[in-house]
Chain A
C-alpha cells in the first residue's frame, strides 16, 4: 500500500467479492471485520506486508470467513487446520499464520492438534469462534455447551459438563491465552493484534453469538467484563489459572475478557531453520551419503 492512501482504505479493500451467507445478526461478522481491521492495521502501522498473512479455516460457519477476506488462505477440513498452519509457518518464518476455527471444529474433531500445537509452542494464532453450538449442521451440542443444553442430537439435554478451553490451553503449554466477545469489537480487535504479534502459540477464545441456534447475547452482556490492569499477572501460570477458573462455561459467574497469560518461550519452528539454511545442492549430498555408506 502506498503511504498517500487515506487510513482505512486498506481494510476496505480486504473484503472479497464472495457472497456472504451468514445469518443476519451472526457473531461471525464482528470477528470478520475485526480481523480485517487487525490485518490492515498491522500492515499499515507494523509494516507487515499484506501478502505475509495467511488465514486458515476449519469447516463450519466460521470457516467462511476465509472466503470473505482477500487474504491468502487455506480453507482446510473439519478440525484439521492447526497442523496445516504449523506446516505453513515451518515453510516460511515471515508468514503470520492465523487459524479461524470453530468450537465443534477444534474442541471436538481436532482437539489433539490444538493441544499439540500449544505443547510445541508453534508460532501460529488460533482464533476460536466459540458459539457453543454447531451451526452449519443445524444445532447440536459442542464441547463448550453448558450442562443441560438441548440440541437436536440430545433432545433430553446433556448431562456432561463443558470444557474450559482456556484451562486446557494453559495446561497444554500455550504461551498466549485470551478471551474476547463479539459485542466488544474494539477490544476484540486489540486482542487479535496482540495475539498475532505474540511470538509463539497464541490462543483467543471468542464468545460468539449464534443468532439462530444459541443466542446468549443477554447473558454475555450481563456477565462479561473487560479485565483491568493488575487483575491478573499474565506472566504467572497460577495467576492466569485462577482468573481462567473464574468462569467455567457452565455455572453463572462473571466472565472475564482480555489477556490471561502471555509468556515468552522458544518457538517450535525455530529449531528447524538451521537444517535447510542456505539450500545446498541436495543431489550432491545424496551422492556423498551413498559414497560414504557404512
Chain B
C-alpha cells in the first residue's frame, strides 16, 4: 500500500486550508485518493492552523498521527507537531519566521520579494518544495497551480513555486497511479450537491461553524445550480422562512449547528404538527453552549432525535463520507416530502469541513420519490385521513382548493380542534406516517457493514468516524457496523448486521456514548465504549491502540 501524509501549518489568514487543498490536488492529479483534516482555532488572524493531507492508493477518510512531510510557516508548526515526526520525515520551513528547526529552511520573505509576488504565494513555494521532495514532476505541479490559481496571479505563483521546487531535493518518489484524478470536496459540498439532486429549490441558513461553508458554497454556486440561497436574520427566521417556502410548494433545506438548532426547535415542532416538509443539515461541534466552536463532536444525536415539544415522526440520517453525504442528503429531502416529516442530516465538523476525494461514479443513486399530490377531485382537505398517514398535498394558488395548514391540533380540513377523538386520530395518523416511512426504509442500506462476519470482534460507529474505524478494524480483522439511519431506527437491519458480532466496541466522538444509549433503548448491547471528546477526530493509529484495549 502506497500512502503519504503531509502536514502544512501556519497562522490563520495565511491560506492553510487552500494550501492543504492544493496538496490534495497534487496527489489527486497522480490518481491517489486523498483526505484532509483541517484544524483551526476560532479566530481570524494569527493562532495556529494546520492541515494534514493523507494520500493513498486506497480509499482514505481519516488521518494518521505521523507525517512524512512537515511544511512549517512558523515556529508553532514545528513545536506543536514533534510527535508526528518519524526518522524519514522531511521538514521544510519558512526561515524568515522559524528560528529553530532542522530540515530545509527557505527564506520565503526574500523569495516573494525577489519575485515581486504577494505574500500569499508562499503557499505555492511550499507546494513546490513538496512536489520536489515527493519526486513529483514540475509539470504536475504547474498543472495543479493552473487549475487552482486565478489567471492574473498565475505567473507569480508559478515563479515562486519554481523557487520552492529548486530549493530542495528529492527524498522519495510518489509513483503515478493508473486511476482517475478525482475532485476533492468537503462533506458540506457533497451534502449541498446531494440536496440539489434531491430537488432542492431554496437553501436558507444563518452562518454557524461548521455549516457556514455549506451556505457559502451554495450561495456561490446558486446560479450554476439554479437555486435560491437566503441568509435571514436568525435561525428562527431561517426555519420559518423555509416552512413558508415549503407550504407554498418549494423544496427547501436549512443548515446549522447545535446552537442554531436550539433556536430552530420551535419551528421543527411546527413542521411536525403542520406536516410541512423541511430538511435540516445539522453539523455538530463540541458544546455545551459555544463550546469549542471550530472543532468536532458527535454530541447532538439525542438532541436531534428528541428536539421539539410533542411527539412526531422524523427522519434522521448520519452519513460517514462524501458518497453517503451526497446520496443521503438527496434521500432526506425526497423522503421528507414523500412522508411530510422533518428530515435531519446529522454531520459534524470532521465530515462537514474535511476534504475527501469524491468518486461521483461510486455514489449509489438514491431511489426517486415524489410527494403525494392532490388529484383535484372533490373538496380539498389538507389533512385528509389516509391509510398510510400521508395526506395529498396541494399548494396555495391552486384553483378550487383552500389550503389550511396549522400549528394547532386540527381536523382534516385544517381547522383547529380540541375534541378528544380528533386529537387522538390526528396523533395516530402521524404515527402511521412514521411507520410508513420506516417500512420504506427497509429497502435502503440503512445499516452498513464492512469486513468479514464471525471475526469475533465488531466495531460499531456512526457518522464521520466510519473510515477511521474501517482502517483500524483491519488491524484486528474486525467487522464494522455503521447505522446510517438513526430515526426511525432500522431495528431489523441492525439485528441482521449484528448476528455473530462477538465482542463489541462502540466508537464515538462524545463523552457519554450516545449511539450506545440509543442501542440500549432498542434493547441492543452496545458493547464497550471507545470515546474521544477533545474536539478532535480519531487518528487511525490512535483508534487502533484504543481498540486494542477492548479486543485484547
Contacts and interface: CB of A to CB of B under 8 A. Distances in A.
Contact of B197 (A17, A67, A282): A282
Contacts of B387: none
Contacts, number: 182
Given A83-B244, A88-B245, A113 B407 contact: no
Given A52-B397, A285-B196, A92 B248 contact: yes
Contacts of B196: 282-283, 285-286
Contact of B250 (A74, A76, A90, A288): A90
Nearest to A116: B233
Interface stretch (A144-152, A224-232, A271-279): A271-279
Contacts of B249: 91-92
Interface in B384-407: 395-407
B295 interface: no
Interface in B249-269: 249-250, 252, 266-267
A82 B252 CA distance: 17
B226 A77 contact: no
B416 A52 contact: no
B274 A71 contact: no
Interface string B161-202: 000000000000000000000011100000001001101111
Interface in A1-47: 16-18
A59 interface: yes
B324 to A, nearest CB: 16
Interface residues of A, number: 53
At the interface, is chain A mostly helix, strand, loop or mixed?
helix
Given A73-B404, A77-B407, A116-B237, A90 B228 contact: yes
B408 interface: yes
Interface in A86-125: 86-92, 94-95, 112-113, 116
Nearest to B407: A77
Contacts of B415: 16-18, 67
B227 interface: yes
Contact of B222 (A72, A75, A80, A275): A275
A72 B237 contact: no
A80 B226 contact: no
B197 to A, nearest CB: 5
B234 A87 contact: no
Contacts of A81: 240
Interface of B: 147-148, 183-185, 193, 196-197, 199-202, 204, 221-228, 230, 232-234, 236-238, 240-250, 252, 266-267, 270, 274, 358, 360, 395-408, 414-416
The 10 A-B pairs at the shortest CB distance, nearest first, are namely A87-B244, A293-B183, A91-B248, A84-B244, A72-B396, A83-B240, A75-B406, A87-B245, A87-B241, A91-B250
14 contacts: A72-B404, A73-B405, A77-B407, A80-B240, A83-B244, A84-B240, A85-B244, A90-B202, A91-B250, A92-B397, A113-B233, A278-B226, A289-B193, A290-B358
